[in-house]
Amino acid sequence: MRTFGWVKCVGAAVLSTALVSCASTAADAQAQAPSFDDAVKSSFKERGQAGMDRLNRNAMQLACSVPADQSPTGDAAKAIQEQAQARVVFPADGEYFGDWKAGEKIAQTGKGMQYSDDPAEPNGGNCYACHQMAPDEIAYGTLGPSLKGYGKLRGTSDPMLQYTWTRLWNSHVYNVCSHMPRFGDAGILTEQQLKDVMAYLFDPKSPVNQ
């Protein structure tokens, strides 16, 4: 029994030393491992209009770069929404609508801001990548809600126009960690382009409302 006890103690000591050694090795490896940002930056290089500055994340992006169950809540979420709201710029002339036909092209176009795109050409909104819009459109995504009949169902009251414009400008005002592009805030679409998309959503003659 004594021999067994001695062997047991030696075995426990060896195991304990091994665990400490493994933990130390793991800690050393973690300390020497590049950070996530460093790893990402080392994997990309500037090309055309796509610069390395695109890898820099603002406070909202940092806060939302977490698992869904860890997304900002409470005061943190409220701060992101208030900051987003403060940056919304409504039409200088008070007019929300442009040409729905131009808006349709913007909604259907996915080019823009990639290194292979001509920066002299206007960006697209690629709205159909996430939304159903015109009823006769057969190619659309379902990540976002259907916008079919948008203006016909919602009307054109000032609050509705302001809400929709804000959604297009920066959806983080309403959804803290929204996946929708910040079309206005990030400078993806111009004010005129946003007006055209608004017309596509609201104009009675637009395919969206047929």
**Nearest residue to 183 (alpha-carbon basis) of 55, 94, 58, 89:** 89
> What CA–CA distance (Å, rounded) separates 125 from 141?
13
Segment 17-64, tens digit of pLDDT: 444 444 555 555 555 566 878 888 888 899 999 999 988 899 999 999
Q: Report the pLDDT value the prediction gives residue 19, as an integer from 0 to 100.
A: 44
Work out the percent of the chain whose per-residue pLDDT is above 70. 84
Q: Report the pLDDT value the prediction gives residue 32, as an integer from 0 to 100.
A: 58
* pLDDT over 90 (residue 207): yes
Alpha helix ranges (H) inside the chain:
2-32, 36-43, 59-64, 74-86, 100-108, 150-154, 158-169, 191-202
> What CA–CA distance (Å, rounded) separates 181 from 125?
9
Q: Report the pLDDT value the prediction gives residue 97, as an integer from 0 to 100.
A: 98
Q: Report the pLDDT value the prediction gives residue 1, as an integer from 0 to 100.
A: 47
Q: Report the pLDDT value the prediction gives residue 174, as an integer from 0 to 100.
A: 98
Q: Report the pLDDT value the prediction gives residue 37, as an integer from 0 to 100.
A: 80
Q: For the chain, which domains are there?
A: 77-209 (1.10.760.10)
Whether pTM exceeds 0.85: no
Specify the 3-state DSSP secondary structure of 176. coil
User: Which range among 56-60, 82-86, 96-100, 164-168 shows the weakest confidence by mean pLDDT?
Assistant: 56-60
Segment 133-146, tens digit of pLDDT: 999 999 999 999 99
